[in-house]
Amino acid sequence: MEIGTVLFTWHRSEHTQKVLDALKHNTVLPDRLYIFQDGISDRTNCEEWHKVNQIIQNVDFCNTTVVVSKVNLGCRKSIVSGINYVLSKCDAVIVLEDDCVPERQFINFMTTALETYQNNDKVYSVSGYAWDVVLQNQEGDAYFNGRSCSWGWGTWRDKWKAYEENYNIVNEIKADPVAVERLHIWGNDLEEMLAGNIHGICDAWDVFWSLNIIKRGGCCLSPYKTLVRNIGFDGSGLHCNSSEYFQDLIQAQKTENKDNYNLLRRIKITKECEEEFRFLYGGKNGKEKAQYYRRLFVRWIQMKQAGKRIKFLDEWSGKVAVWGKNDAFDLLLEEFDVLQEHVACIVESRPRDSAYKDIPIVTLDKLPNNIKNIIVIPFFDINVIAPRVHKIRPDIKLWGIDELIG
């Protein structure tokens, strides 16, 4: 099988150089590296663009084809047309963007996965990025899920034929109850992302790829330990905002040197995996959450105008924990007369800080045993949060903050 490796660039010379340096030191080098540079637009840093152009013209560690666009295509058209071009010449493709730095075993893993599942109709995509999920029942070095990932990924010519830029796809999914359930598990955020394309907020291609895989009930492969570091969260990316937390997270994950990867022959998505992704992507989308909060705050104001306050429930019998923090959490603190009497800690799945307003922040597995109740600030996602909580602490009772407001 002929596999083409692709790197998409534009005008970030430092990022591009880091990706190329990492590829150069991979344990397995690409058979052929295709490098696509998008053209200049009024948003282009021309000095950086020319630096990138010079870098990609001088790659010498493997066979290389460089394609420089004469016009600016934009993210979506540039990537889709590049993949189409490579798959017209190759059986499969490995895709990197200029902010996805591969670990030393990336090409080895991707090649092994593409060769292993090339004839399986169920597998649509393989990725070198490890999702931020907690899976306890690990088999092999990778697992199957229903969500494609664009941070260092690959697919086959026949599977890529499923790619379609269909803006009616969400309605088509919603017409099928089975597909709707898959959407709830693997990507309730995708509808909002699709709307962003329509309104010009973003120019995402991967939203179509993910939705088409969900519609077809396809599977995607991801490693347990990440083989890709995304360095685009420094504010330089088109779709990735600056995020110190996320950068720290992906850089903190360690990979081990492996020559061979143990990949599952049986194509199956576990219940545990579904629960983790339902927690990660299955909640309400941003617009729905904003509507929920608006209604909550209106009720809260009405309650306060009537001279009523949130009361500590008799059923709590001791201190409680609070899941998450935001403006609603700050209002909750104002409602409790003596904070230390009631709130023992804040629970977050991926905390950045050790405390907030002198209240300790802990992960669920560090929650004190005497805590039996958690007030959930993102109450609209309580059905998504509950399975994750009860997997670790089945004795916990969850209370949506909306339940405390008359």
Quickly state the pLDDT bin for 34 (edges 50, 70, 90). Answer: very high
Give the list of residues 6+ apart from residue 9 with CB closer than 8 angstroms, or none.
Answer: 16, 35, 36, 37, 38, 52, 56, 98
Quickly state the pLDDT bin for 337 (edges 50, 70, 90). Answer: low
Answer yes or no: is pLDDT of 9 > 90.
Answer: yes
Name the 3-class secondary structure at 140.
coil
- Burial class for 138, CB neighbours closer than 10 Å (0-12, 13-18, 19+): exposed
Higher pLDDT, 300 or 240: 300
Q: Is residue 32 part of a domain?
A: yes
Q: Is residue 286 part of a domain?
A: no
pLDDT digits (tens, 9 = 90+) for 201-225: 788 999 999 999 999 999 999 999 9
Backbone angles phi, psi at 193, to 5 degrees: -65, -40
Same domain, residue pair 267 and 321: no
Same domain, residue pair 126 and 184: yes
- Structurally, the chain folds into a number of domains equal to 2
Answer yes or no: is pLDDT of 77 > 70.
Answer: yes
Q: Is residue 287 part of a domain?
A: no
* Residues 380, 292 contacting (CB under 8 angstroms): yes
Quick one: average pLDDT of 349-358?
82
Which two structure tokens, joined as six digits, stand for 240?
A: 């990735």
Quick one: average pLDDT of 331-353?
74
Rg (CA), the chain: 24
Give the list of residues 6+ apart from residue 246 with CB closer than 8 angstroms, or none.
Answer: 230, 233
Closest CA to 362 of 339, 398, 397, 389: 389
* Residues 347, 367 contacting (CB under 8 angstroms): yes
| DSSP single-letter state for residue 6 | E
Same domain, residue pair 271 and 363: no
Closest CA to 389 of 275, 284, 282: 275
Same domain, residue pair 337 and 229: no
The CATH number of the domain holding residue 131 is: 3.90.550.10
Answer yes or no: is pLDDT of 332 > 60.
Answer: yes
**Which pLDDT value is given to residue 129?**
95
Same domain, residue pair 221 and 137: yes
Answer yes or no: is pLDDT of 91 > 50.
Answer: yes
Answer yes or no: is pLDDT of 256 > 60.
Answer: no
Closest CA to 196 of 285, 105, 134: 285
**Which pLDDT value is given to residue 334?**
73
Q: Give the CA distances from residue 123 to residues 32, 83, 200, 359, in Å, rounded to whole numbers and listed in that order.
A: 24, 18, 31, 46
Pairwise CA distance, residues 124 & 113, whole Å: 11
**Which pLDDT value is given to residue 252?**
38
Q: Is residue 299 part of a domain?
A: no
pLDDT digits (tens, 9 = 90+) for 304-315: 788 887 766 767
Same domain, residue pair 110 and 225: yes
Give the list of residues 6+ apart from residue 14 with CB closer than 8 angstroms, or none.
Answer: none
Higher pLDDT, 403 or 53: 53
Give the list of residues 6+ apart from residue 15 with CB closer than 8 angstroms, or none.
Answer: 98, 99, 231, 232, 236
Give the list of residues 6+ apart from residue 165 with CB closer than 8 angstroms, or none.
Answer: 80, 205, 208
Helices marked H in 88-243 — which ranges? 106-116, 157-160, 169-174, 177-186, 189-198, 206-216
Q: Is residue 76 part of a domain?
A: yes
**Which pLDDT value is given to residue 234?**
54
Quick one: average pLDDT of 177-188?
93
Q: Is 74 left (phi over 0), alpha (psi -120 to 50) or beta?
A: left
Q: Is residue 295 part of a domain?
A: no
Q: Is residue 238 part of a domain?
A: yes
Answer yes or no: is pLDDT of 388 > 90.
Answer: no
The CATH number of the domain holding residue 390 is: 3.40.50.720
Answer yes or no: is pLDDT of 182 > 70.
Answer: yes
Name the 3-class secondary structure at 259.
coil
Q: Give the CA distances from residue 396 to residues 157, 272, 310, 388, in Å, rounded to whole numbers and listed in that order.
A: 48, 19, 21, 11
Query: How many CA within 13 A on the CB side of residue 71?
Result: 2
pLDDT digits (tens, 9 = 90+) for 127-151: 999 998 878 767 899 999 999 999 9
Answer yes or no: is pLDDT of 387 > 90.
Answer: no
Other CB atoms closer than 10 Å to residue 199's CB: what's the count? 7
Same domain, residue pair 237 and 328: no
* Residues 110, 6 contacting (CB under 8 angstroms): no
Quickly state the pLDDT bin for 243 (edges 50, 70, 90). Answer: very low
The pTM (predicted TM-score) of the whole model is: 0.77
**Which pLDDT value is given to residue 241?**
44
Pairwise CA distance, residues 80 & 6, whole Å: 12
> Hunting for tokens 């890709």 — which residue is that?
228
Which structural domain range is residue 262 located in?
A: 3-281
Q: Among 81-90, 343-352, 371-380, where is mean pLDDT lowest?
A: 343-352
Answer yes or no: is pLDDT of 235 > 80.
Answer: no
**Which pLDDT value is given to residue 298?**
84
| DSSP single-letter state for residue 387 | H
Answer yes or no: is pLDDT of 254 > 60.
Answer: no
Identify residue 92 by its one-letter amino acid code.
Answer: A
**Which pLDDT value is given to residue 178?**
96
Q: Is residue 291 part of a domain?
A: no
**Which pLDDT value is given to residue 246?**
38
Quick one: average pLDDT of 356-361?
88
